[in-house]
Amino acid sequence: MNSLWEVNFSRKSANVRPSPVREILSVIKQPGMISFAGGMPAPEVFPVDEFFEGVSILKNDGRNLLQYGTTEGYPPLKGFLSEWTAPRMGRRVSQEEMLLTTGSQQVLDLLGWALIDPGDTVVTEDPSYLAALTAFHNHGANFIGIPTDAEGMIVDLIPEAVEKARAEGKRVKFIYTIVNFHNPCGCTMSLKRREKLVEIAHRLEIPIFEDDPYGYVRFDGDHLPSIFSLDPDGGVLYAGSFSKILAPGTRVGWCTGPKEIIRKMTVFKQAIDLCSSPITQALAYEYCSRGYLDTHLPKIIDNYRQKRDAMENSFKRHLPLEEVRWVKPEGGFFYWIEMPRIDVKPLFEKAIEKKVAFVMGMPFFPNGGGEHNARLNYTYSSPEIIDEGVRRLGEAMREILAR
């Protein structure tokens, strides 16, 4: 222990929380453990050969790619994304409306830099994505949590909550939402709610941050319009990522929004990492421009759909159905289960004994709650492993209930 460092820590440092997944990493790594805890893609879906074809670009353009890149991002990739995302965004966005980032996680940090002062308020789903809460929390944010149901955030509750916060003198900076296949809830915001949210945000003069890492990983039903496409007034920042549609090891994400905020975030990015690696951006571009994004994505979706179905079936087979509720996700990576009569903490301990891991609900709630919730990832394990893990979990639940 080096107290010299501790006395020099910032206040942020004293409050910073490591991710709960990271905290249970040593548990997850125990031999024989089946983990539904992380949020990782399955390595077997990675298009290794297709991705590596792109390395030939180093032959043609190596000198350029090994140099510092522009902070705004590798122009060919931005050009591709502008086309490729047009159906979702409602139009082709211009280069100045887009910033390439080091994964979409960096978008959270950059928007935090641009907007959040300590004590400011952010509206989120309750529960919400943990690393987003942490990123905003690091910038000093407080949270208004809005409950969700099967149609996503119950947006009608926003105005009153915001008015109340404003009456207390708080500055509400933006509404953070994961509209598709929510992490952790698995739910998707209905079209009606999306339209309503845009209207409410406009009325309250609060921008919306639409985080959409899973949006293209849809198993059933039709894609819904993005919030960005529903808003004509430049009040939405959209974040996307290659982590789920290609592979996370590239660390390539992007955000799309009005020029003004994109420019601001770009200047912050300069001070944070200058630019994301032009090499990995170019490799992602080569992969996309060769058509592999479009040909391979359906294979990823098929793989995950099977696993989602496997988990659904295993739930029905192994869990005490009268004690557990869930909504079947139409896409994405996660099941979110509610167990009104089971405390998740003893369940977690029992589950670890039986060698199956998940993430407890609590850390996803910015202002407390989640003692009867668990998040389970289905993309990483095989259907057989999923079945065995859920069987163990069912056993653990019954033992807790029998206590």
Partner 1 sequence: MTSFWEPLYGRASRSLKPSPIREMLHLTRRPGVISFAGGMPDPAAFPVEAFREAANRILEEQGRDILQYGTTEGYPPLKAFLSDWTAPRMGRKLAEDELLVTAGSTQVVDLLSWATVDPGDFVVCEEATFLGSTGTMRNHGASFITVPCDGEGMKVELLPTLLEEAKARGRKVKYIYTIPNFHNPLGCTMSLQRRRLLVQVAQEWGIPILEDDPYGYIRYDGEHLPSLFSLDDRGIVIYAGSFSKILAPGTRVGWAGGDREIIRKMAVFKQAVDVCTSVVAQAEVYKYCEMGFLDAFLPKIVDHYRKKRDDFEAAMHRFLPREEVSWVKPQGGYFYWLETPRISARELFDRAIEKKVAFVLGEPFFPNGGGENAFRMCFTFASPEQTEEGMRRLGEAMRESLDR
Give whichever of 252 and 342 is closer to partner 1, judged by the CB atom: 252
Q: Residue 95, interface with partner 1 (CB under 8 A)?
A: no
| CA gap 253, 242 in Å, rounded | 6
Give whichever of 108 and 351 is closer to partner 1, judged by the CB atom: 108
Q: Residue 4, interface with partner 1 (CB under 8 A)?
A: yes
Give whichever of 86 and 267 is closer to partner 1, judged by the CB atom: 267
Alpha helices in 213-277 (DSSP H): 227-230, 259-273
Two tokens, residue 97: 């409306």
Q: Residue 41, interface with partner 1 (CB under 8 A)?
A: yes
Q: Residue 26, interface with partner 1 (CB under 8 A)?
A: no
Q: Residue 114, interface with partner 1 (CB under 8 A)?
A: yes
Q: What secondary structure, in 3-state letters, does 138-181 show?
A: HCCCEEEEEEEECCEECHHHHHHHHHHHHHCCCCEEEEEECCCC
Q: Are 175 and 201 in contact (CB under 8 A)?
A: yes
What's the CA angle centered on 112, arms 107 and 118, to 5 degrees?
Answer: 165
Give whichever of 44 and 384 is closer to partner 1, judged by the CB atom: 44
Q: Residue 314, interface with partner 1 (CB under 8 A)?
A: no
Q: Are 144 and 161 in contact (CB under 8 A)?
A: yes
| CA gap 19, 40 in Å, rounded | 14
* CA nearest neighbour of 334 among 382, 376, 385: 376
Residue 213 CB, nearest approach to partner 1 (Å): 12
Residue 283 CB, nearest approach to partner 1 (Å): 7
| Among 30, 66, 83, 191, interactor with partner 1 by CB under 8 A | 66
Q: Residue 116, interface with partner 1 (CB under 8 A)?
A: yes
| CA gap 300, 306 in Å, rounded | 10
Write out the binding residues for partner 1, residues 194-233 only, by CB under 8 A. Answer: 205-207, 233
| CA gap 262, 250 in Å, rounded | 22
Residue 396 CB, nearest approach to partner 1 (Å): 27
Residue 37 CB, nearest approach to partner 1 (Å): 13
Binding residues for partner 1, total number by CB under 8 A: 90
The interface mask with partner 1, positions 235-274, x = CB under 8 A, is x-------x---xxxxxx-----xxxx--x--xx-xxxxx
Distances in Å between the alpha carbon of 317 and those of 321, 392, 394? Answer: 9, 12, 9
Residue 173 CB, nearest approach to partner 1 (Å): 5
Q: Residue 78, interface with partner 1 (CB under 8 A)?
A: no
Give whichever of 4 and 402 is closer to partner 1, judged by the CB atom: 4
Assign 187 to helix, strand or coil: coil
Q: Residue 280, interface with partner 1 (CB under 8 A)?
A: yes
What kind and span of H or E run contains 206? Answer: none
Give whichever of 18 and 298 is closer to partner 1, judged by the CB atom: 18
Tokens 């009606």 -> residue: 192
Give bridge partners of residue 337 from the DSSP assignment.
Answer: 326, 374
Q: Residue 313, interface with partner 1 (CB under 8 A)?
A: no
Residue 204 CB, nearest approach to partner 1 (Å): 10
Q: Residue 68, interface with partner 1 (CB under 8 A)?
A: yes
* CA nearest neighbour of 152 among 177, 134, 121: 177
| CA gap 358, 225 in Å, rounded | 32
Write out the binding residues for partner 1, residues 121-150 only, by CB under 8 A. Answer: 131, 134-135, 138-139
Write out the binding residues for partner 1, residues 351-390 only, by CB under 8 A. Answer: none
Round to the nearest angstrom and report the end-to-end CA distance of the chain.
Answer: 41
The interface mask with partner 1, positions 45-64, x = CB under 8 A, is -x-xx-xx--x--xx--xxx
Interface region with partner 1, contact rule CB under 8 A, candidates 9-17, 189-197, 331-339, 344-352: 9-17
Q: Are 219 and 186 in contact (CB under 8 A)?
A: no
Go through the chain and tell me how many residues it has: 403
